[in-house]
Structure 1
Amino acid sequence: MTAIQDFIDDTARSVAFLSRVPVPQRHFIGHDGRLSRAVRAFPLAGVLIVLPAAALAAVLSAFHAPPALLAFATLALQVLVTGALHEDGLSDSADGIGGGRDRESALVIMKDSRVGSYGVVALVLSFGLRAAAIAALATVLTPSALGMALLAVAAASRTAMVWHWSLLPPARRDGVAASVGEPERGATTFALISGALIAALLLLPHGTVLAFALALAAAIIAVLTFDRIAMRKIGGHTGDTIGATQQLAEMSVLFALALAL
């Protein structure tokens, strides 16, 4: 029972960290604010966070809403629930990595609350690619299958965050990511396995093994490519690059599914 309660607490803490969803304070009693173990629940937390948007997509699909309208409404609700947390990370990472002359200038730019041209372009591409992919999926999947596919993407993209976080050292010692601790090895392994299983269980009944394999490959390539860029430009991860990883993985997986299904 203790292990189950610990996982419930980790899930609640992960939901609170990854979204603007209010979480009961009882899950934080005696908690020191570190997420080293709680990252194991990121895949499940992603599913819970995206559940309202996935339900909306399914309902709109059932009522034969225009695919583009369905896609943007789904993304709008998703952003409301997350508080655009991951989009902010993508924008800041694009500005810093794209506009920084060196490591220090890149990190300074990433801390700046203003949005530059690289950040704007990244956000336009993120919303455009995701909306186009969701609209494409809405034309080939049943309403329930569409909702399940979006939940699978949610699990996969939050798993990608943990992987990125665990592979790279902190780029700055006083950042948000560093302050909440490094992912434990066991928690990372649990997140990677559970994330893949959750995505498979949600996607395979409505798709194909090939589609799942392509989506998995797309996520892996996106994370590893971004890891190389982040390591070369800023020397590790930050809270912004962790959020950017979620966006890149979500874009990649949706793109692959739209092509394969």
Structure 2
Amino acid sequence: MDIREFGGDIVRAVAFLSRIPVSARFFEGRDGSMRRLAGAFPAAGLVIAVPAALLLFVTLSFGADPLLAAFLGLTLQTLVTGALHEDGLADSADGLGGGRNRDHALDIMKDSRIGAYGVIALVLSFGLRAAAVAALARLEEPLTVALVWIATAGLSRAAMVWHWHRLPSARTAGVAASAGVPDDGARTTALITGIASFVLLTLTLHSTGAILFGLLVAVLLTLVFTRHACSRIGGHTGDTIGATQQIAEIGVLCALALAG
């Protein structure tokens, strides 16, 4: 692997996955394909999570209520990402939950309006993540909680790359279809980066068994959701890719809180 090229991919992935401004020079001569770029998504996730992790660390260090600190972190994280993955979760919940058949589900997911399933999914996403982070903050030091936040961001984006690679595109047109499917090398890089960074950054947890439990939950939830998407719509969409990230992140944070 060319380290300089991978570094450039991380910068481009940060631009794709967030609202962090990136110089146009990083995109010169690029065709917009995600076949290789997706391999840098977990590393980009680590970078994107840093501002919210710092806010979480500072607020907890100054004695803020853990639940308030968690919601403040989620607020900043949502601003940084532009709610990219939350939007995918809401659309996927509406389509997969309310669609009568494959075509109806895809039509619902394409609709910009949000329905009852989407609202419920968003409430549960923010509520469960905030509660899990708050529970961790009552057990662990502020620095450990901040590192867990960053680690989970990387691992959950590895999960979305695996989902993306595993399924064909459910549509012949659309953002996900035009971007292409991550190649085998990108998938492997994403998984290695996401898992390795998660293990290394969570080593300060009091319960080492929590690390394995978190990984297991991420794998199971990603497999179950991927299979469900395949059975309902026959493949992935940009929305299911984002939903995978959210589902993995929620699951890992809850698992670590429960295991702690």
Q: Shared topology, TM-score over 0.5?
A: yes
Check conservation: 1:9, 1:28, Cα contact below 8 A: no
> Take 1:180 and 1:129, find their aligned partners in 2: how far apart are those partners?
31
> Take 1:258 and 1:209, find their aligned partners in 2: how far apart are those partners?
12
Residue 186 of structure 2 corresponds to 187
Residue 213 of structure 1 corresponds to 212
Question: 1:7-18 maps to which residues of 2 (within 5 A)?
Answer: 7-18=6-17
> Take 1:220 and 1:173, find their aligned partners in 2: how far apart are those partners?
28
- Post-superposition CA distance 1:155-179 (Å, at most 9, x none): 1111111010011110002021111
Letter in 2 for 1:205: T
Residue 197 of structure 1 corresponds to 196
Residue 237 of structure 2 corresponds to 238
Letter in 2 for 1:26: R
Name the SS for the 1:208 alignment partner: coil
Could you state the TM-score of these two structures normalised by the residue count of structure 1?
Answer: 0.98
Name the SS for the 1:21 alignment partner: coil
The alpha-carbon deviation at position 228 of structure 1 amounts to 1.2
How many residue pairs get matched? 260
Residue 41 of structure 1 corresponds to 40
Residue 162 of structure 1 corresponds to 161
Pairwise CA RMSD of aligned residues?
Answer: 1.0
> Take 2:16 and 2:26, find their aligned partners in 1: how far apart are those partners?
12
> Take 1:139 and 1:192, find their aligned partners in 2: how far apart are those partners?
30
Q: Which stretches in structure 2 are left out of the alignment for 5+ residues?
A: none
Letter in 2 for 1:168: L
The alpha-carbon deviation at position 207 of structure 1 amounts to 4.1
Residue 95 of structure 1 corresponds to 94
> Take 2:218 and 2:174, find their aligned partners in 1: how far apart are those partners?
25
- Post-superposition CA distance 1:54-95 (Å, at most 9, x none): 010000110010111101101000000000000000000000
> Take 2:226 and 2:209, find their aligned partners in 1: how far apart are those partners?
26
Detail structure 1 runs of 4+ shifted over 4 Å in the superposition.
none
- Post-superposition CA distance 1:139-168 (Å, at most 9, x none): 111111111010110111111110100111
> Take 1:141 and 1:93, find their aligned partners in 2: how far apart are those partners?
34
Name the SS for the 1:23 alignment partner: coil
Residue 79 of structure 1 corresponds to 78
Name the SS for the 1:45 alignment partner: helix
> Take 2:119 and 2:84, find their aligned partners in 1: how far apart are those partners?
15
Could you state the TM-score of these two structures normalised by the residue count of structure 2?
Answer: 0.98
The alpha-carbon deviation at position 24 of structure 1 amounts to 1.1
Name the SS for the 1:140 alignment partner: coil
Letter in 2 for 1:158: R
Letter in 2 for 1:260: A
Q: Which stretches in structure 1 are left out of the alignment for 5+ residues?
A: none
Check conservation: 1:100, 1:109, Cα contact below 8 A: yes
